[in-house]
Amino acid sequence: MRTARPLLPWVVWGVAALAYAVAIINRSSLAALGPAAQHHFDIDATTLSAFPVIQLIVYAGLQIPVGTLLDRFGATAMILSGGLLMVVGQSIMATVSDVWLAILARVFVGAGDACTFISVMRVLPEWFSVRQLPVVSQLTGLIGQAGQLVSVTPLALVVAGFGWMTGFLGVAAVGLLVMILGCFVLRNAPGEGTPVERLTGRLGRLSREARSLGAGEATGAFAMPPPETGMLPVITETRVPGLGFWRKLRRLLALPGVRLAFWVHFSSPFALNAFILLWGTPFLTGGAGLDGATASGLLNIVVLASMTAGLLLGPLSSRFVERRVYMNVGITAAIMTVWVAVLLWSGPPPMWLLVALMIVMPFGGPASMIAFEVARSHTPRSFAGFSTGLVNMGGFIASLFVILLIGFVLDLQGAGSPDHYSLGAFKVAFAVQIPFWVGGIAMIFIEQRRTKRWMEEHGRRLR
């Protein structure tokens, strides 16, 4: 049993990360199926945009409520609830032909997805040391990105070869299997039982004797704990009944470090999300004029580059804690620079420039994970779930606006269907990203200065 104890945190994390990968598969299940979905449902670009946009609205809108429920009911319950919602959503998506029912299906998928990531992130501090958290967080994102490999090529091949219903029912079946595995493995924290153990009332020896890898870790500047709840600003107001939603929100937003984390997450991932969730395949085939096989190959480069970025940024953000926000800003600026080069290129961008875009743009996803390390440094543990949900809204708010605006601008130019796509129309449409990058970077610098002053006033150091 002694050898099993240090392995248990990794087993729990592995199943939780697998649940996140399944959530990514569900989230990006239309990644390579945009034109197929337009033909299947007979819809234009704006309506196609509504699928992921509504999904992301639900996702972003539920982050704070889910974070509140997470603090109350625990990560395991939320991960399993999210899995169930996604199974229902993909089952509906597989069996309907009406566009409104399909949108309802994406609502279920968005709600389930909203429950998963922040719950997985909430599990990590219970099982790992502070020094391990940046690396484990990036590894979690890396495994999640592996889920996009499934939605980019295998799912598209299954739908093309066996039909729409078979493809989406297959995704639902995978989600159900992971849920069953989670019932026997997931634990909120050392000493707590799995869902099956809690249901039967029998706590196994492995659960009773479980230990965190962070137990007894040394204190110091790097391991400084998060601030006490008492360091939150006191805001005089009438207490809101129930879960105290608005009181918590106002107290957290009064912390400049939490606001900084929000803008860090806002700025870097939306270009990747818009590309991989919906507009990547239409741009590469209908805009750049590539064939389907070449476009799929470039999308696979996107996913592999994102996984590689996670491996690089985890150790770097752990080692250079004082510079982690500037890492995010530098990556965001690099993404903007490459995209501007693509948009300004006269005629179709050459393959080397497209490959550069496929390599640089995916760094935005792992870079956004830095936001959760920033939030963890400035959020009391009792507010951890709520804060993670609040910060996670940033990138997805930006993503849903960018996705919707791209479709809207395409329709304004009369290029809203696969038969009318053009490179010029896509260049104008993708230019809507530029104000989001500029505004996000500006807010990061503003909140960075405010956070530095707050830390000096309260004698805090980064962790």
85-122 pLDDT, tens digit per residue, is: 999 999 999 888 888 898 899 999 999 998 998 899 88
Q: Give the ranges where 268-291 is alpha helix by DSSP (H).
A: 270-274, 280-282
Amino acid letter, 256: P
Closest to 273 (Cα-Cα) out of 334, 361, 356, 340: 361
Mean pLDDT lowest among 116-125, 226-235, 367-376: 226-235
DSSP assigned state of 451: H
Q: Is 222 in contact with 202 (CB distance < 8 Å)?
A: no
Q: Please say if the pLDDT value at position 458 is more than 80.
A: no
Q: Please say if the pLDDT value at position 413 is more than 80.
A: yes
* pLDDT band of 157, cuts 50, 70, 90: confident
Q: Is 272 in contact with 437 (CB distance < 8 Å)?
A: no
Instruction: Report pLDDT digits (tens) over 358-372.
Output: 999 999 988 888 888
Share of the chain above pLDDT 90, in %: 29
Selected residue with higher pLDDT from 215 and 273: 273
Selected residue with higher pLDDT from 225 and 392: 392
Q: Please say if the pLDDT value at position 45 is more than 80.
A: no
Q: Please say if the pLDDT value at position 185 is more than 60.
A: yes
What pLDDT does 223 receive? 44
What pLDDT does 419 receive? 75
Q: Please say if the pLDDT value at position 145 is more than 80.
A: no
What pLDDT does 1 receive? 40
Q: What angle do CA 446, 131, 390 make, to 5 degrees?
A: 40
Rounded Cα distance, 51 and 278, in Å: 9
What class, spelled out in words, does domain 8-199+245-458 have in CATH? mainly alpha
* pLDDT band of 402, cuts 50, 70, 90: very high
Q: Is 322 in contact with 462 (CB distance < 8 Å)?
A: yes
Instruction: Report pLDDT digits (tens) over 322-336.
Output: 788 899 999 999 999
**Helix pair 8-27, 164-185: axis angle to 10 deg:** 160
Mean pLDDT in the chain?
Answer: 83
Full-model pTM: 0.71
What pLDDT does 132 receive? 81
What pLDDT does 219 receive? 39
Burial code of 240-279, b = ≥16 C-beta within 10 A, e = fewer? eeeeeeeebeebbeebbbbbbbbbbbbbbbbbbbbbbbbb
Sequence spans of domains, the chain: 8-199+245-458
